[in-house]
């Protein structure tokens, strides 16, 4: 009688163990199916040299003289899977009088290659915003289908927060009056939180924030996200900044100069 009871207990133990194993295998199988159907946040492309956020439809770059001579037709033609370069922001001016030595060439050749282009000004916070705006206007002729002008603000140059915002607003007002379109503000998350949070929120924001899993960590809405500064693109010999647009092609086209 005791032996039969012991044998029965062994069967029960084996049954429980088997049930646990089967449950674990089943849960693991369900997790595998979920992972197969779930789109990853980033996909590593060796051709671009960086992980690319996969949940965005429109990708682009920004360049300046540091990229030297660019073969824009090669940039435009590059496509890996469904990822291609859909736009490019090009540095035009800096401060009151400086001009990027490669701007004129980049501006023309990007258009000739069929690239949607935008121009940006690097802001010197301690200098007059109106004079800086005039420098940009004298340099950049925007056309239908171009992106709005961009003000790149990322250094204080010793100016106070109130001075920075005052001079930035001067630049934005002059540009909006001249081009009849609302300019975009570019900055990084840290600079934004320190100097702009709660101010100038009616302007579109292009924000830089690297090594983030899905999007920049910022409370307000944004239209462009610079997610890497070390990408690779055909036609450019040096590393280049990579960006995404927050929205679909309809939203992107509505942003362009009419």
Q: Out of 62, 94, 146, 167, pick the active-site residue.
A: 62
> 3-state class of 115 per DSSP?
coil
Q: How far apart are CA 230 and CA 216, in angstroms?
A: 17
- Record the tokens describing residue 225, joined without a space: 């996200």
What is the spatial distance between Cα 136 and Cα 152, in angstroms, rounded to a whole number?
A: 12
Sign of the CA dihedral with 188 first, then 191, 193, and 198 last: negative
Does 62 qualify as catalytic in the annotation? yes
- Whether the CB-CB separation of 192 and 218 falls below 8 Å is answered with yes
> Would you say 129 and 171 are in contact if contact means Cβ atoms under 8 Å apart?
yes
Q: How far apart are CA 258 and CA 255, in angstroms?
A: 9
Nearest to 150 by CA among 74, 233, 226: 226
Whether 154 is catalytic is yes
Torsion of CA 88, 91, 92, 98, to 10 degrees: -170
CB 229 within 8 A of CB 241: yes
Given 57, 128, 154, 176, the catalytic residue = 154
198: left (phi over 0), alpha (psi -120 to 50) or beta: left
What is the C-alpha radius of gyration for the chain, rounded to an integer number of angstroms?
26
Count of other CB atoms within 10 angstroms of residue 213 = 9
Residues acting as catalytic residues? 62, 154
């Amino acid at each position: 009688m005791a032996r039969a009871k012991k044998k029965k207990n062994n069967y029960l133990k084996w049954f429980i163990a088997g049930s646990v194993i089967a449950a674990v295998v089943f849960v693991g199988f369900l997790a595998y199916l979920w992972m197969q159907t779930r789109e990853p946040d980033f996909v590593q492309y060796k051709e671009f040299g960086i992980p690319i956020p996969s949940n965005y439809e429109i990708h682009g770059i920004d360049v300046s003289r540091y990229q030297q001579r660019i073969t824009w037709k090669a940039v435009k033609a590059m496509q890996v899977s469904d990822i291609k370069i859909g736009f490019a922001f090009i540095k035009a001016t800096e401060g009151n009088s400086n001009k990027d030595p490669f701007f004129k060439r980049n501006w023309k050749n990007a258009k000739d290659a069929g690239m949607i282009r935008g121009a940006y000004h690097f802001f010197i916070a301690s200098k007059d915003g109106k004079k800086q705006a005039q420098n940009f206007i004298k340099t950049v002729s925007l056309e239908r289908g171009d992106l709005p002008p961009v003000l790149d603000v990322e250094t204080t140059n010793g100016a106070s927060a109130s001075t920075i915002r005052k001079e930035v607003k001067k630049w934005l007002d002059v540009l909006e009056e001249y081009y009849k379109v609302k300019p975009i503000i570019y900055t990084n998350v840290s600079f934004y939180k320190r100097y702009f949070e709660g101010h100038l929120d009616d302007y579109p924001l292009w924000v830089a924030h690297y090594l983030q899993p899905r999007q920049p960590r910022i409370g307000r809405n944004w239209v462009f996200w610079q997610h890497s500064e070390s990408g690779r693109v055909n036609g450019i010999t040096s590393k280049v900044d990579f960006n995404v647009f927050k929205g679909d092609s309809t939203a992107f086209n509505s942003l362009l100069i009419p």
